[in-house]
Amino acid sequence: MAVSCAAAWPADCRGLIAESAQAFVEDRTVQGIRAAQQAFAEPGQLERLRKYHGDKAAWVLSAWIDSWLAPAFAGWSLDADLRKVRCPALVIHGEHDEYGSIRHPQRIAQQIPGAATLRILSDCAHVPHRERTAAVLGDVVRWLDAAGPI
């Protein structure tokens, strides 16, 4: 969503931070979503999402799964939006993200015109801000300091 917003309003977006963003559909993404679909079918697992999505947890889960697994979605990518981004970007991704390989952040960083800072976090999966909080905060602070006034 952040990439799409930066692409839609390039004159207004002064900085972009993308964390664990998927840039296209790959087998690893589909496999991870199928595994999550099975895991969330287990009793009590939907409660974990209610903490973040309240009464809409089941709808959010279904929308996510149904979209990514739809055959019509298989060719989707962020490429067109990425080429419209005009602001500095920090791209953060966990090395062991179960929903996308490091090809996603690499593609994001390569497709954005100008300089993008790429940070792959070791010992980290899909939620770097929770799994490696200090590292993510440190990266963001250093990136903002280096970027100057945004």
Residue 147 is predicted with a pLDDT of: 81
How confident is the model over 23-68, as pLDDT tens digits? Answer: 999 999 999 999 999 999 999 999 988 988 999 999 999 999 999 9
pLDDT > 90 fraction of the chain, expressed in percent and rounded: 91
Mean pLDDT across the chain, nearest whole number?
A: 94
DSSP state of 123: T
Domain range summary for the chain, segments of one domain joined by +: 2-24+82-147, 30-73
Superfamily of domain 2-24+82-147: Alpha/Beta hydrolase fold, catalytic domain (3.40.50.1820)
Contacts of 149 (CB under 8 A, 6+ apart): none
How confident is the model over 109-120, as pLDDT tens digits? Answer: 999 987 799 999
**What strands, in cross-sheet order, belong to the sheet with 89-94?**
16-19, 89-94, 116-121
The count of other CB atoms within 10 Å of the CB of residue 95 is 13
Closest CA to 99 of 14, 31, 11, 1: 31
State pTM to two decimals.
Answer: 0.90
